Amino acid sequence: MEMNKSVFVTGATNGTGFAIAARFAAEGYDVFIGSRRLADAEAAAQKITERYGVFAKGYETKIGDEVNVKAIFADIGSRGYLLDALVLNAANLGIGQVSLEVDMKDFMEVYATNVGWNFMMAREAARQMKEKGKGAIVFITSNSAVRVTENRCAYCSSKSAILAMSKSFAVDWGKYGIRSNCVLPGMIKTERWQNNVNNTKYCLPNYTPLHDIADFEDVANAAWYLGSEQSRNTTGAELVVDGGMLAQLTPNINRRLWEE
Ligand SMILES: NC(=O)c1ccc[n+]([C@@H]2O[C@H](COP(=O)([O-])OP(=O)(O)OC[C@H]3O[C@@H](n4cnc5c(N)ncnc54)[C@H](OP(=O)(O)O)[C@@H]3O)[C@@H](O)[C@H]2O)c1
């Protein structure tokens, strides 16, 4: 039986990850959702099925656990799927890690998640994609992989490592028809962002050339492009979704936005 196309999205119970899952579902993909909490993954999967009429299933992702990673892909395979796309959205944000003081355990945990676990997930997905003869891996990294923010050494450098990891996959697995690309969001309008008074008080979107930051759907559209046949000749690439922030040396501030 010919299966629907399918995608696995990590950290996809809400926000950016859910928007990515929904974007693929809207295109008719069956969707596998990863979360550290099985009940939340299952609830998100149910929402996807109700809204888009595609098959969806939630999985508990145990960060850094290779047995769990293999079990997830074995289960997907046993259902007759060979994954078309993997979107690695979940991340340890490593917030507030002051470089002179950070505990090495906390520092390494950021790497274990953002680099090590993402590697395991990508490799296992690639084994299915190799069997299929094609597939797309999309990393949601960050523009802070290129220009950093204060007290985020582990996070920024791990996101930077992802850029090189993605290029390695592009080079190593291109011969199997597997593509690997990165989305580099800038600030996203998450609940965390909305609740941080500094963002509204200092009107941070005003600092980007477009005077706006990303909606979930902006990141989801980029992930869809890189994860689908739309980008069939693109691999090892980076797509920045940051309102133009990386392009500028100093911000060209629209003062009217503050005064209104
Ligand atoms: N928000 C921004 O402004 C921004 C800017 C640039 C790049 N990004 C990147 O864009 C992606 C989505 O960002 P977001 O702000 O929407 O992310 P988020 O909601 O903070 O995190 C996405 C998911 O990652 C999982 N996660 C969170 N902390 C984790 C931890 N310590 N260890 C393992 N998994 C963890 C959670 O999934 P479960 O709890 O369901 O497991 C969460 O729902 C991330 O890769 C992020 O690095 C975000």
If you measure from the C-alpha of residue 39 to the centroid of ligand 1, how many angstroms do you get, rounded to a whole number? 18
At 258 the pLDDT is 62
Q: Give the C-alpha separation, 21 to 224, whole Å.
A: 9
Q: DSSP H helical segments within 80-152, as ranges?
A: 104-111, 118-132
pLDDT in tens, the chain (260 residues): 678 999 999 999 999 999 999 999 999 999 999 999 999 999 999 999 999 999 999 999 999 999 999 999 999 999 999 999 999 999 999 999 999 999 999 999 999 999 999 999 999 999 999 999 999 999 999 999 999 999 999 999 999 999 999 999 999 999 999 999 999 999 999 999 989 888 877 778 888 999 999 999 999 999 999 999 999 999 999 999 999 999 999 888 877 766 65
R_g (Cα) of the chain, nearest Å: 18
pLDDT of residue 257: 63
Q: How many angstroms does the Cα of residue 15 sit away from the middle of ligand 1?
A: 9
What class is the 6-188+214-244 domain? Answer: alpha beta
Which atom of ligand 1 is closest in space to residue 14's alpha carbon?
43
Where do the structural domains in the chain lie, given as residue ranges? 6-188+214-244
pLDDT of residue 220: 99
Question: Of ligand 1's atoms, which has the minimum distance to the CA of residue 16?
Answer: 16
What order of strands is seen across the sheet that includes strand 238-241? 56-60, 30-35, 6-10, 85-88, 135-140, 178-185, 238-241
Q: Using alpha carbons, list the distances in angstroms from residue 163 to 15, 64, 157, 196, 210.
A: 23, 20, 10, 28, 25
The binding-site residues of ligand 1, defined as CB within 6 angstroms of any ligand atom, are 11, 13, 15-17, 35-37, 40, 63, 89-93, 113, 140, 142, 185, 187-188, 190, 193
Q: By alpha-carbon position, which residue is closest to atom 47 of ligand 1?
A: 91
Please give the structure tokens belonging to residue 157.
């450098």
Measured in whole angstroms, the distance separating CA 237 from the mean position of its chain's CA atoms is 15
Cα–Cα distance measured from residue 116 to residue 119, given in angstroms and rounded to the nearest whole number: 5
Q: Which of 211, 119, 107 lies closest to 157 in space, CA to CA?
A: 107
pLDDT score at 215:
97
